[in-house]
Amino acid sequence: MAERLDKVISNTTLQSRTVCKALIRNGAVSVNGVPVKTPEFHVDTGKDTIAVNGEPLSPRRFFYIMMNKPRGYLSTTEDRYERTVLDLLPGEYGKCGLSPAGRLDRDTEGFLLLTNDGETAHRLMSPKHHAEKTYFVRVAGMLTDEHVRAIAQGLRIDGYTCLPAELKIVQKGENSEAFLTIREGKFHQIKRMMYFCGCEVTYLCRMSIAGVQLDPALAPGAWRFLTDAEERAVRDAGKR
Ligand code: URA
């Protein structure tokens, strides 16, 4: 089926239409070896060979996006009433099957990985694979070394024994602050662990997934693609 050249490049690379039009107008694109400078030019992806900067356009199967999820958004792909994290991405991204690899509560901020790589998403979410996630947590209440020890051993909550986790207290006293690293992701896990410690979570932000740190340059609501090294880290998470 014939489609506009700029649309084909945009859908394949997830670059915006504006960027793709500029690439074409600047002479970076050829079709069957012949430079084409008109974005409206129609191509048949079944037959034509498109190249960008001399590299054949090969459909990339998987995309990995790091988003700093803001408060007030649901970690789902659609909802009839509420804003979802997909609303923070350009519309065309919805078409390539991106969805969040794991959920953050509506009031939680931080690193949300969006991908169309279902196998990696499954491994990151599955408690069997033990991919590490680190959260920064502020609580109403006081965290103590006793909590550090109990969490390291595996808290028993509502008949379930959590996997051993690491609590690093960075601010002692009332309104304690800490980093908490867990290897599973049960429903409201951090809030329930803190509740068990006699504390109520007042702020929660996921700082890393499988050793990949949330980019401090990303303000809440902003996003970027993972670098190649970050992609490797999330794809390899839980395989060892
Ligand atoms: N644990 C929670 O309680 N909430 C989150 O959003 C993530 C982990």
The single residue listed with the structure tokens 């504390």 is 199
| Nearest residue to 6 via CA among 47, 49, 37, 46 | 37
Q: What is the dihedral of CA 79, 82, 83, 87, to 10 degrees?
A: 30
| Nearest residue to 215 via CA among 237, 230, 236, 228 | 230
CA of 7 to the centre of ligand 1 (A): 38
Query: Is residue 15 over pLDDT 90?
Result: no
The pLDDT of residue 95: 65
CA of 61 to the centre of ligand 1 (A): 30
Closest ligand 1 atom, residue 182 Cα: 8
Q: Whose CA is nearest to atom 2 of ligand 1?
A: 188
Give 11's pLDDT tier (boundaries 50, 70, 90): confident
Catalytic residue among 48, 87, 105, 215: 105
> What does the radius of gyration of the chain's CA atoms come to, in whole angstroms?
22
CA of 103 to the centre of ligand 1 (A): 8
Please indicate whether residue 148 or residue 124 has the higher confidence score (pLDDT): 148
Give 129's pLDDT tier (boundaries 50, 70, 90): confident
Are 190 and 180 a contacting pair, CB within 8 Å? yes
Tell me, rounded to whole angstroms, the distance of Cα 71 from its chain centroid.
15
Give 93's pLDDT tier (boundaries 50, 70, 90): confident
Share of the chain above pLDDT 70, in %: 97
CA of 135 to the centre of ligand 1 (A): 9
List ligand 1's pocket residues with C-beta within 6 A. Answer: 104-105, 108, 188-191, 204
- pTM attached to this predicted model: 0.83
Give 111's pLDDT tier (boundaries 50, 70, 90): very high
Q: Whose CA is nearest to atom 3 of ligand 1?
A: 188
**Lowest-confidence segment of 32-46, 89-103, 145-159 by average pLDDT:** 89-103
Are 137 and 195 a contacting pair, CB within 8 Å? no
Share of the chain above pLDDT 90, in %: 74
The pLDDT of residue 226: 96
Please indicate whether residue 131 or residue 68 has the higher confidence score (pLDDT): 68
Query: Is residue 78 over pLDDT 70?
Result: yes
Q: Would residue 105 show up in a list of annotated catalytic residues for this protein?
A: yes
